Structure 1
Amino acid sequence: MASITEIRSRMRSVEQTLKITNAMYLISSAKVKKARKQLSEVEPYFDRLAKTILDIFRHSPDLQHRYIEGHEKPKEERKTGFVVITGDKGLAGAYNHNVLKLAESYLARKKDPTLFLIGQMGRHYFEKKNISIDGEFMYTAQDPTLERAREIVDTLVGLFEQGALDDIYLVFTHTYSAMRMEPEIIKLLPLDRAMLSARRGLSEADQYRDVVRYEPSKEAVLDVLVPGVLKGYMFAALVESFCSEQNARMTAMDTASDSAKEMLSSLSLEFNRARQGAITQEITEIAGGAAALTQS
């Protein structure tokens, strides 16, 4: 059995760990609320952009535009890019592992894909796998902002318009609830009409019923609106991933706190037994000494 001093030292160590896990839980909880608030404030604006684009699609089903789904090149000649969002830190359960595995599976299906990373955990993972990283958007995973989303989208749209990329996908983690977070992949460019409607949760009833005239042309309007909608996609994905990471960390810290409390309970019992044993031993030694003095 460990000595009383060793047990007391272990108990202090576990108590310090418990304080850390509780603090990390509270910090993650506050971060989730703040990020959700940011997203809720801008969602109506991006929903309106999406409705406008869907209205153009509804009235112009044969409209041709460089941002709209098309297959000018054969499938085997198309250049594909992937943007993968992970966290900058660990201690978040299987959050990073799940999204990285999904991204890796899609990368394996494409010939010479272009890889863009958001988050340090993704960089460490793909470097170990000797997978080429073509670009990184630093200092974004822990601070999702509209400005960072705009910078990322501007870079991707520029590569798309230059012909450096023909298809661009976004891999991130979607938060369905505090206990359910799943990695997803969506296509950013070229824009898919069905995906746009499904992604924004819009139905036919949500679209404009009146005939709207777009000036100077529908194509010119799409030139402006599509990058705006993509910015909304990107910001939403950044926030969803950030919230997923924080929720996963909250779950991990809650589990760690429960384990620490159980360990403290076990150590406390062990400490009491050791102390009781020490007291019993002292009493026995005193009794033995007294008996020896009496006999002498």
Structure 2
Amino acid sequence: MANTKEIQKRMKSIRDTMKITSAMYMISSAKLRSAKQKLEQTEPYFYTLQSAIARFLRHMPDTTNRYFDQREQISDNEKKRGYIVITADKGLAGAYNHNVIKMAQELFSQGENNKLFVVGELGRQYFAKEGLEVDAEFKYTVQNPSLHRARVIADYVMDLYVNGELDEVYLVYTKMENSFSMNAEKQKLLPLAKEDFIHPAPADIYQEEIKVESSMEEILEHVVPNCVTGYIYGALVESFASEHNSRMMAMQTATDSARSMISQLSIEYNRVRQAAITQQITEVIGGAKAQKNKKKK
């Protein structure tokens, strides 16, 4: 059994760890609130963009716009697919990184012409360690996601798509359903599917006419890149929020475990201290009896 000094040392170490986990919980909580606020502020704009694309497509259902080109002439086995995988820059976030990396590995193994784009330092290091080829020029952190960063990423992958270096582009990220549920998701980014925008309208709804000075095709060329940027930005913010929500849960669990350990160590400390006191009392009584017996002799 450990002595009182060893137990006190362990309790101090655990209390110091609790201070760290509590601080990390508070930091992640603040960043989570900030991420949710950013997403709420920008969502209306991108929802309006999607609605505008739907309106355009209703008037030109047979469009041959390059961003809607499914490239059906290329077989599935020959298609060049790009996967944008969003991970964290660091760990201590429960199963957050594991789930999204596992999905990315499964998708990447399906096909021979795949290309991997990784956002987040932890994911880059993992895939490099596993020997998977990661785009060397695609280096972005996930801290404080911004529209500018999303636009740069969108421009990068869209250029590859337009130039024929990629036939399909997917997002692999973590979506936060609620405070307790976060799921790894796959979203097809390019080419866009018309059926995702066009929904049958009720017969009694007035379908407005659209008059444009330039052609509908030219308008789509400007609107679609902004819409793709919105998808990427939404995924970055969702992943960022999921990461910090997972870290909050992990830090809360660690803090609770630390409290439980301190409670058990306190009980053990009291028992050891009581045993030491009892032993001292026993030694004093034994010494007193010995002295008494010595005097009698």
> Scaled by the length of structure 1, what TM-score is found?
0.94
What code does the residue aligned with 2:216 have? K
Aligned partner of 2:125 in structure 1 is 124
What code does the residue aligned with 2:10 have? R
Whole-angstrom CA distance in 2 between matches of 1:203 and 1:39: 28
Aligned partner of 1:153 in structure 2 is 154
Aligned partner of 1:224 in structure 2 is 222
Matching of residues 29-108 of structure 1 within 5 Å:
29-75=29-75, 76-108=77-109
Matching of residues 160-199 of structure 1 within 5 Å:
160-196=161-197
Aligned partner of 1:292 in structure 2 is 290
- Once the two structures are superposed, residues 47-92 of structure 1 have per-residue CA deviations (whole angstroms, 9 ceiling, x without a partner) of 1111110111112111111001422531233211110000011111
Whole-angstrom CA distance in 2 between matches of 1:57 and 1:139: 34
Q: Which runs of 5+ in 1 are unaligned?
A: none
* 3-state secondary structure, aligned to 2:82: strand
* 3-state secondary structure, aligned to 1:177: coil
Q: CA deviation at 1:94?
A: 0.6
What code does the residue aligned with 2:104 have? A
What code does the residue aligned with 1:113 have? N
- Once the two structures are superposed, residues 146-167 of structure 1 have per-residue CA deviations (whole angstroms, 9 ceiling, x without a partner) of 1100110011111111111111
Q: Which moved more, 1:211-220 or 1:85-94?
A: 211-220
What code does the residue aligned with 2:245 have? N
* 1:262 and 2:264 aligned: no
* Compared CA separation, residues 220 and 36, structure 1 to 2 (3 A): same
Whole-angstrom CA distance in 2 between matches of 1:182 and 1:274: 47
Q: Which runs of 5+ in 2 are unaligned?
A: none
Whole-angstrom CA distance in 2 between matches of 1:44 and 1:88: 29
Contact map agreement 2:121 2:141 (CA 8 A) in 1: no
Matched-pair identity in %: 47
Whole-angstrom CA distance in 2 between matches of 1:9 and 1:203: 69
Q: CA deviation at 1:203?
A: 8.0
What code does the residue aligned with 2:251 have? M
Whole-angstrom CA distance in 2 between matches of 1:137 and 1:157: 13
Whole-angstrom CA distance in 2 between matches of 1:116 and 1:268: 50
Contact map agreement 1:117 1:135 (CA 8 A) in 2: no
Q: CA deviation at 1:178?
A: 0.7
What code does the residue aligned with 1:145 have? S
* Compared CA separation, residues 234 and 130, structure 1 to 2 (3 A): same
Whole-angstrom CA distance in 2 between matches of 1:219 and 1:208: 24
Contact map agreement 2:68 2:191 (CA 8 A) in 1: yes
Q: Which moved more, 1:158-167 or 1:133-142?
A: 133-142
Contact map agreement 1:117 1:136 (CA 8 A) in 2: no
What code does the residue aligned with 1:50 have? Q
- Once the two structures are superposed, residues 127-162 of structure 1 have per-residue CA deviations (whole angstroms, 9 ceiling, x without a partner) of 222111124543431221111001100111111111
* 3-state secondary structure, aligned to 2:66: coil
Q: CA deviation at 1:208?
A: 8.4
Contact map agreement 1:84 1:170 (CA 8 A) in 2: yes
Say what the alpha-carbon RMSD is for the aligned residues: 1.7
What code does the residue aligned with 2:184 have? P
Aligned partner of 1:18 in structure 2 is 18
* Compared CA separation, residues 226 and 295, structure 1 to 2 (3 A): same
For the pair shown, the structure with the greater C-alpha radius of gyration is 2
Q: 1:243 aligns with which of 241, 244, 263?
A: 241
- Once the two structures are superposed, residues 262-283 of structure 1 have per-residue CA deviations (whole angstroms, 9 ceiling, x without a partner) of 1010000000000001101111
Contact map agreement 2:89 2:141 (CA 8 A) in 1: no
